Amino acid sequence: MNLNKTWRRIRRRAGLDDVRIHDLRRTAASASASVGLTLEAVGQILGHSQAATTKGYAFLFDEAKRTAANAMSARVAEGLRRKTAPKVLSLRQKY
């Protein structure tokens, strides 16, 4: 089945002449990662057999990165308010 003619018509009507079907696939992967789906789940949906392939597709949207950074800073602030020191993990240890 050839979707080229239909895809060109959809793009023209949407005013998105430079968008490829593959771009939608990447956007779906990024949207999925941004709402918290694991790379494994995203990869299974996309039919990837390698996590590295999915990692190349899925980038976090700015809002998701902002939310993650805020959560991280809140966690650090909470640790600083405690009377006992929080556990600090060495970067040299293997986990």
pLDDT in tens, 34-59: 999 999 999 999 999 998 899 888 88
Gap between the Cα atoms of 81 and 64, Å rounded: 26
pLDDT in tens, 61-94: 999 999 999 999 998 888 778 767 667 767 775 6
Sequence-separated (6 or more) residues with CB below 8 Å from residue 88? none
Sequence-separated (6 or more) residues with CB below 8 Å from residue 61? 30, 31, 34
DSSP 48: -
Q: What is the pLDDT of residue 94?
A: 60
**Rounded mean pLDDT, 24-43:** 92
| Tokens linked to 81 | 């308010």
Helix (H) or strand (E) holding 36: none
